[in-house]
Amino acid sequence: MMFDLNPRVEDWRGRRVWIVGASSGIGAATAQRLLKEGARVVLSARRPEQLAEVAAGHANAILYPMDVMGDDIWPRAIQEVSDKLGGLDLVMFLAGRYDAQHSWEIDAEAVQKSFDLNVVSLYRALATLVPALLKQGSGGIAITGSISGYTGLPKALVYGATKAALINLAESLYFELAPKGLSIYLINPGFVETPMTAANDFKMPGLMKPPAAADAIVEGISRGRFEIRFPRSFAGGLRVLSRLPYLLRFSILHRTTGL
Ligand SMILES: NC(=O)c1ccc[n+]([C@@H]2O[C@H](COP(=O)([O-])OP(=O)(O)OC[C@H]3O[C@@H](n4cnc5c(N)ncnc54)[C@H](OP(=O)(O)O)[C@@H]3O)[C@@H](O)[C@H]2O)c1
């Protein structure tokens, strides 16, 4: 049985949503789904032409191109987006990068870039966003982890570590901010067919299309879930696996990945 940890969102019409990482993949599909639901959506990422393609001239879409790695970008961005929408009901962080690395081929520069984009830029955003939402007295924050953050996996020693950090961060945020009236969501996708996974040279179990991922995200938030993981069986299976004693966990992982 699942319990709602956040208030339900019964009606998306007029909801003020900001999606960071909206130019492709899961973020783009989520923006399109929310626009269809009647939300007002600000779309951010670095590539303005891709954002425009995703928004497709929708009357409720506002483009706000930005590089989340820009120096001191967040205070101004949060103020401007909030002004454009007249407040913020939900900010969704979907920007991210994936560097497939084995433990014998660690590239320190790529490690730095992954942690900077996936983790540090988010803390930088939260430093301004959390006080702003607390002042507003309402609002939600959705953080995108990954099921690869549940347990150590082959070739995921950098990406998985950034996502494990985000899972922990989302849990901490929930503890501290839910009692203060904010909604916190942790999105943990399995494999989704996006530019990020295009270079994967292995069969991705449970591979989903971005619109299906967006449906799962919107449904999860509508129902007030804290953790939104998908696809259900593969993600749920890995979650259970991650709770097993190491001896059993590692042996199952070796057998199933063949590594
Ligand atoms: N696909 C999967 O199987 C999968 C699985 C688990 C978790 N996830 C997570 O889901 C999220 C979305 O991934 P995706 O698969 O949809 O990947 P994607 O299609 O590559 O999308 C990544 C998004 O991040 C934006 N972005 C990257 N660097 C940025 C920067 N410096 N500033 C602003 N925006 C930036 C990209 O836009 P620009 O290039 O235009 O800036 C793009 O919109 C990520 O957090 C990813 O880790 C994905």
pLDDT of residue 201: 87
Residue 9 forms part of a structural domain: no
What's the pTM?
0.97
pLDDT of residue 217: 98
Span 89-128, pLDDT tens digits: 999 999 999 988 889 999 999 999 999 999 999 999 999 9
Q: Are strands 90-93 and 16-20 parallel, antiparallel or unpaired?
A: parallel
Beta bridge pairs of residue 144: 187
Residue 1 forms part of a structural domain: no
pLDDT tier, 1 (very low <50, low <70, confident <90, very high otherwise): very low
Residue 231 forms part of a structural domain: yes
Ligand 1 atom with the smallest distance to the CA of 69 is 31
CA–centroid distance, residue 164 to ligand 1 (Å):
17
Span 24-45, pLDDT tens digits: 999 999 999 999 999 999 999 9
CA–centroid distance, residue 195 to ligand 1 (Å):
8
Tell me how far apart the alpha carbons of residues 62 and 44 are, in angstroms, rounded to a whole number. Answer: 9
Residue 112 forms part of a structural domain: yes
pLDDT of residue 46: 98
Tokens of 206: 């449970």
**Domain boundaries, position 86:** 16-257
Q: Phi/psi at 18 (nearest 5 deg)? A: -120, 125
pLDDT greater than 90 at residue 214: yes
Residue 7 forms part of a structural domain: no
Helix 121-136 / helix 73-85 crossing angle, nearest 10 deg: 40
Q: Return the residue whose CA atom lies nearest to atom 42 of ligand 1.
A: 21
Give ligand 1 pocket residues (Cβ under 6 A). Answer: 21-27, 45-47, 50, 67-69, 94-96, 98, 117, 144, 146, 189, 191-192, 194-197
Report helix, strand or coil for 128.
helix
Query: Over pLDDT 90: what percentage of the chain?
Result: 92
pLDDT of residue 2: 56
Q: Looking up tokens 């820009």, which residue turns up? A: 70
Ligand 1 atom with the smallest distance to the CA of 208 is 3
Residue 117 forms part of a structural domain: yes
pLDDT greater than 90 at residue 3: no
Residue 218 forms part of a structural domain: yes
Average pLDDT over every residue of 164-184: 98
Q: Return the residue whose CA atom lies nearest to atom 11 of ligand 1.
A: 94
Average pLDDT value over all residues in the chain:
96
Count: domains in the chain: 1
Residue 3 forms part of a structural domain: no
pLDDT of residue 120: 98
CATH number at 33 reads 3.40.50.720
CA–centroid distance, residue 150 to ligand 1 (Å):
19
Beta bridge pairs of residue 228: 187
Average pLDDT over every residue of 67-81: 96
